[in-house]
Amino acid sequence: MIARSRAPKPESAARANPGTCAAAPPPPAPEEQIYRLLLSCPNRPGIVARVAGHIYQAGFNIGDSRQFDELDTNRFFMRIEFNPVRADADLEAWRASFVGLAGEFGMDWTLCAAWRRPKVMILVSKFDHCLADLLYRWRIDELPIDIVGIIANYPRETYPHLDFGKIPFHYLPVTRETKMEQEAQIWALVKEAQAELVVLARYMQILSDGLAAKLAGRCINIHHSFLPGFKGAKPYHQAHARGVKVIGATAHYVTSDLDEGPIIEQDVERISHHHTPDDLIRKGRDIERRVLARAVRYHIESRVLINGRKTIVFTE
């Protein structure tokens, strides 16, 4: 996919809606009420102890905790999963009291219920292998999301073998002359559906700076190349011409510089001089599918923190 990107400041998404995430359905049984806290702040001693103590004192138990100190920027990153273990554990009271602690350390943070199903809008062009894979993983509940719409710049007949079920399908053709109007329609659909994440599943259009800015930190693109090499169109042909020995795919957040957004996930596969550009495209489809699916899962599981032009990804 072709997109543009400029890395937002690491705190931009969190400050837009501090300490919150998507609304969750009614909570399950206490042992299944897992909450995910994701935070970043200037590094200093005592952060882990203060955060863990705050969770424990409120009647919760930490089931998983990951942290990372980035020495170059002197910034601290942390992801914690916790659940209630006392009858008096009150999440809203905990959230309200955590605001003070977060302010003391200058934290950017979000708190999400693990059982929520984020609303996702998918954009696609002619090539549908990534879309088909996302639909499959969604149907078997490997990706616990609610797909609130599919937007395509090709008509529905382009995908005769795909079953969209009751997912709304929006055909929005685009030309150079109608690009701004078409993007206004996309933005209206995203807002109307309250989509929390937009996935560009080989959507072969460059997003305008304006739309990229509106979707900063919540729009994932799959680029059919191992960035930062071979940007733009026909990367597999570029790779073949250079005689590379591995090809890959890259999932990244979309901002405003072409294929320069913070990278979430990548993968590669070895090739040889025997392989043609068509061979590379065929192999590339497999890589693209799995890389995009992993990136979407990392995002919806609150495993990704944007750090300037990079990301911190707390994988499993």
Helix (H, G, I), strand (E, B) or coil at 146: strand
Q: Are residues 62 and 205 in the same domain?
A: no
pLDDT-derived band at 227 (thresholds 50, 70, 90) equals low
Domain match, 47 and 142 both: no
The CATH number assigned to the domain holding 93 equals 3.30.70.260
Number of domains in the chain: 2
**Whole-number pLDDT of residue 17:** 42
Does 116 have pLDDT greater than 50? yes
Q: Are residues 161 and 90 in the same domain?
A: no
Q: For residue 146, give the CATH number of its domain.
A: 3.40.50.170
164 and 125 share a domain? yes
> Would residue 67 count as lying in a domain?
yes
Q: pLDDT digits over 24-56, tens only?
A: 677 777 668 999 999 999 999 999 999 999 999
Write the pLDDT tens digit of every residue in 53-70.
999 999 999 999 999 999
Q: Is residue 240 part of a domain?
A: yes
Distance, CA of 160 to chain centre? 28
Query: In what order do the strands lie in the sheet containing 219-223?
Result: 169-171, 146-152, 119-124, 197-200, 219-223, 246-253, 263-270
Give domain status of residue 185, yes or no.
yes
The reply to whether 108 and 126 lie within a common domain is no
Residue 123 shares a structural domain with residue 95: no
Question: Could you tell me if residue 239 is inside a domain?
Answer: yes
- Which of 61, 84, 113 is the last residue in one of the domains? 113
Question: Do 132 and 276 fall within a single domain?
Answer: yes
| Least reliable range by pLDDT among 146-155, 222-231, 282-291 | 222-231
Expressed as residue numbers, the domain containing 170 is: 119-313
pTM score, whole prediction = 0.87
Residue 4 inside a domain? The answer is no
- Do 109 and 123 lie in one domain? The reply is no
The HSE-up count of residue 201 (CA atoms within 13 Å, CB side) is: 28
CA distances (Å), origin 48, targets 65, 69, 99, 105, 137: 9, 11, 16, 11, 35
Q: Are 248 and 305 within one domain?
A: yes
Report whether pLDDT(1) > 80.
Answer: no
How far apart CA 11 and CA 305 sit, in angstroms, is 9
Tell me which of 113, 140, 172 is where a domain ends.
113
Q: Looking at 93-102, 215-224, 239-248, which range is the least confident one? A: 239-248
Distance CA 307, CA 316 (A): 19
- Mark whether 89 and 151 lie in a shared domain: no
Confidence of residue 3 (pLDDT cuts 50, 70, 90): very low
* 236: confidence class by pLDDT, cuts 50, 70, 90: low
Catalytic machinery residues: 259
Q: Is the residue at 182 inside a domain?
A: yes
Asked if the structure places residue 8 within a domain, the reply is no
Give CA–CA dist 292/253, Å, rounded: 11
Q: Indicate if 109 and 160 belong to the same structural domain.
A: no
Is the pLDDT at 163 greater than 90? The verdict is yes
Q: What is the dihedral of CA 138, 143, 146, 152, to 10 degrees?
A: -60
As a whole number, the mean pLDDT across the chain is 88
What b/e string do you get for 169-183 counting C-beta neighbours within 10 Å, with b at 16 or more?
ebebebeeeeeeebb
Q: Is residue 241 part of a domain?
A: yes
User: Residue 4 above 60 pLDDT?
Assistant: no
Q: Quick one: 69 and 155 in the same domain?
A: no
Range name among 1-5, 75-79, 98-102, 276-280 with the lowest pLDDT average = 1-5
Q: Which of 113, 143, 174 is the last residue of a domain?
A: 113
